[in-house]
Amino acid sequence: MKKIYLLCKIAIALMLIFCFSYSVLFLCAKYGSKIDIENSNSIYMYDKDGKSFYEGNNGTRKWIKLKDISKDLINATIYSEDKNFYEHNGFDIPRIIKSMFINIKSKDLTQGASTITQQYARNLFLTFDKTWERKIKEAWYAFKLEAQYSKDEILEGYLNTINYGNGIMGIENAALYYFNKSAKDLNLAESSMLAGIPKSPDNYSPLNDEAAAKERQKQILRAMVNNDIITEKQMNETLEVELTYNGKKENLNLSTLMYYQDAVIRELQDLKVVSDDTIRQEGLKIYTNLDISAQTSLENAINNNLEDKDEMQTSAVVMDPNTGAIIALAGGKDYSKSQYNRAVQSKRQVGSTMKPILYYAALENGLTAATTFLSKPTTFSLGNGLTYSPSNYGDIYPNDKITMALAIAYSDNIYAIKTHLFLGEDMMIKYAKKMGITSKLEANASLPLGTNELSILEFTNAYAALANTGLSVKEHLINKIEDGNGDIIYKYKGNNERILNKSYTYILSELLSNTYDTSLISYTSPTCASIAPKLTKKYAVKSGTTDYDLWTVGYNPDVVVGVWTGYDDNRKLSNKEYKYSKNIWADTIEGYLREKDASWYEKPDNVVGVLTDVQTGEVATNDSKLKKILYFVKGTEPGYKSKTTKKTTTTQKND
């Protein structure tokens, strides 16, 4: 009896605490700063040509009153998104509990239970990634909305600001765009079609995929039948209506474009040049580096190569190496299915794509494209009784000396480790930092094999220093920010300090162009030979493979592209999956440069090309099986003989 009495006292105490806490929160929400729902989040984003590709959620001014919106559209929206909208206080507790159970069981955040109020709160103020921090903020804004506005006002705001695909925000704009009529004149067929789009604007826009949109429409009509809003007969008759669309498919409806937008918001927050109050009260114009043709090429490459790989993910960056401007970005395959932005939030092991940093350091410290090391199964003694036994891919070895040129083309691990240990384990870290890598790197024997984890943004930026012949640039999405009055409050300022030697970047770029040269096939093949048929221009490219990560990074003077593919759960990759990052890279860079003239680097005056036996490193002869023009700083090439006079020795000064 005493236990029951104690439990009752505890229950009453908890109930009083809950009521008191709820009352305090409600009063704070009710009488705190009021949310201006008609002016919040007036953020405009523009691409590199000044064309708008994002208009906040109030970028449009075609605001329409709820009473002037078709009742069919209102019902279709409510019963597909939040059937208890008029009953709950902003949170559908049973749905939340169910989704939490599913998320805990699956160990991710894929399941959502957002009400219309929560979605509206998110659209007004927040980024779109699914994190617990965002959900807490979203909950607070939703609470404030419910305390400060009526249900009809919230629904009106929601319908006037949500994304209806193809860059169209708000129901009045959507009705005009798709059907050339006002939202008040929409019939049931049109309403149920439009109500299905916001769940996944790129997938359910009828201009993009009419079959998927029709299936979504059927789901919405079924929900209306189940809730006694329409009859079964009405549903069937509506499904038979053939709709005619007024608008045209736009490139702005790319499924990966939201990753770019999300990354822009993150960069905006990191810059710390604009307060939340400024955004809410004055609005912002953000001028980005987005190149919609590059973004389109990237998305097409991802879709074409990963179409049948449901769980495999990707991240990719397309950058102008001369400025560091990020012109395209993907943080996954499809934003509507996963908001986790791997391009800005994830770090993965980069594998052999780390080796170009090593080989640049080697070139600058006395080694050449013709330097040879013996490549065979080797156990390295590291001191203190420690040993390290790396292996080549597939346990394939020449069991002979090979040049740096072949080691790069074949991605020979033994050669790389010998080069690394010859230079000293700290040397590579020195050059990685010089090239802009900020992540902590461990000075160990395996560093050239990419055992450290890096983000694709910083890693692609490091390659930019090779692509622009040695200048320091900083990756960035935002070029300029203006407030609502047009006053500039931020402008990107580049550095472009020379950090690498132009002659050695030229030599290394030439060496990296051999990774897809099929004339070098011998005891093994160049690592990127499989994509050679796709490449119509000259590139420097390197692939990297670990048990769990696939990387391809490459460039020419105009663009640098980095691609990662793999699984979020670090699932081990099969040999058949090694092709995906290479093919996405090739299709992206070729798609982007298709209409552009081919370009390559001008050879520096102090660099000379020599037809070289790439097996031995000597000047090629008629008996050489593998020969290639390799490049050297004058005075270091095979067969060079110093020309001297009595008083002076002729030398060449490096750039």
* 541-569 per-position pLDDT tens digit: 999 999 999 999 999 999 999 999 999 99
21 falls within a domain: no
- The reported pLDDT for the residue numbered 9 is 67
434 falls within a domain: no
* Residue 458 token pair: 């910083």
Comparison of pLDDT for 33 and 464, the residue scoring more: 464
Interval 381-401 mean pLDDT: 91
**First CA to last CA distance, the chain:** 91
Interval 336-346 mean pLDDT: 89
121 falls within a domain: yes
- The reported pLDDT for the residue numbered 376 is 96
Sign (positive or negative) of CA dihedral 470, 476, 479, 483: negative
- The reported pLDDT for the residue numbered 18 is 53
Residue 67 pLDDT exceeds 70: yes
64 falls within a domain: yes
Q: Output the CA–CA distances (angstroms, integers) from residue 625 to 147, 222, 612, 619, in the order listed.
A: 80, 70, 11, 12
Tokens 């989704």 belong to 99
Residue 392 pLDDT exceeds 90: yes
503 falls within a domain: no
**Residue 120 parent element (H or E):** helix 116-125
- Banded pLDDT at 224 (limits 50, 70, 90): very high
62 falls within a domain: yes
The one catalytic residue in 55, 81, 172, 510 is 81
Interval 484-494 mean pLDDT: 89
Average confidence score pLDDT of the chain:
87
Contact 90, 98 (CB under 8 A): no
Q: How far apart are CA 121 and CA 20, in angstroms?
A: 25
In this predicted structure, which of 7-21, 277-291, 301-315, 380-394 has the lowest mean pLDDT? 7-21
- The reported pLDDT for the residue numbered 556 is 98
- What's 107's domain CATH number? 1.10.3810.10
Query: Which has the closest alpha carbon to 68: 204, 186, 234?
Result: 186
- The reported pLDDT for the residue numbered 108 is 46
Interval 169-174 mean pLDDT: 89
Tokens 């129901």 belong to 171
Say if residue 618 is exposed, middle or buried (CB neighbours under 10 Å; 0-12, 13-18, 19+): middle
Percent of the chain residues topping a pLDDT of 70: 84
Residue 62 pLDDT exceeds 70: yes
Reply yes or no on whether 352 is catalytic: yes
3-state secondary structure of 653: coil
- The reported pLDDT for the residue numbered 38 is 59
Q: Return the top range by mean pLDDT from 41-45, 131-135, 270-274.
A: 270-274
Residue 396 pLDDT exceeds 80: yes
* Residue 57 token pair: 């959620």
In this predicted structure, which of 21-35, 230-244, 515-529 has the lowest mean pLDDT? 21-35
Reply yes or no on whether 425 is catalytic: no
The one catalytic residue in 352, 472, 543, 581 is 352
Residue 33 pLDDT exceeds 80: no
- What residues contact residue 569 under an 8 Å CB cut-off, 6+ apart? none
Say if residue 600 is exposed, middle or buried (CB neighbours under 10 Å; 0-12, 13-18, 19+): middle
Q: How many residues does the chain have?
A: 655
Sign (positive or negative) of CA dihedral 321, 323, 328, 329: positive
- The reported pLDDT for the residue numbered 223 is 95
Query: What value, to the nearest 5°, has the Cα angle with vertex 566 and ends 563 and 567?
Result: 145
In this predicted structure, which of 253-257, 287-291, 320-324, 470-474 has the lowest mean pLDDT? 253-257
Q: How far apart are CA 242 and CA 647, in angstroms?
A: 92
Interval 192-221 mean pLDDT: 91
224 falls within a domain: yes
- Banded pLDDT at 39 (limits 50, 70, 90): low
Interval 389-418 mean pLDDT: 96
Q: How far apart are CA 206 and CA 212, in angstroms?
A: 8
Interval 314-328 mean pLDDT: 98
Interval 589-596 mean pLDDT: 95
SS3 per residue for 50-108? CCEEEECCCCCCCCCCHHHCCHHHHHHHHHHHCCCCCCCCCCCHHHHHHHHHHHHHHCC
150 falls within a domain: yes
How many domains does one find in the chain?
1
- Banded pLDDT at 655 (limits 50, 70, 90): very low
- pLDDT (tens digit per residue) in 230-280: 999 999 999 999 999 987 666 566 889 989 999 998 999 889 887 766 665
- pLDDT (tens digit per residue) in 105-115: 544 444 445 78
Range of the structural domain that residue 87 is part of:
36-43+50-250
Residue 135 pLDDT exceeds 90: no
- The reported pLDDT for the residue numbered 481 is 95
Decide the pairing of beta strands 348-349 and 453-454: antiparallel
- The reported pLDDT for the residue numbered 644 is 44
Global pTM value: 0.79
Residue 47 pLDDT exceeds 90: yes
- The reported pLDDT for the residue numbered 569 is 93
Percent of the chain residues topping a pLDDT of 90: 64
Contact 408, 630 (CB under 8 A): no
**Residue 23 parent element (H or E):** helix 2-31
Decide the pairing of beta strands 607-613 and 560-566: unpaired
Comparison of pLDDT for 636 and 644, the residue scoring more: 636
- Banded pLDDT at 92 (limits 50, 70, 90): low
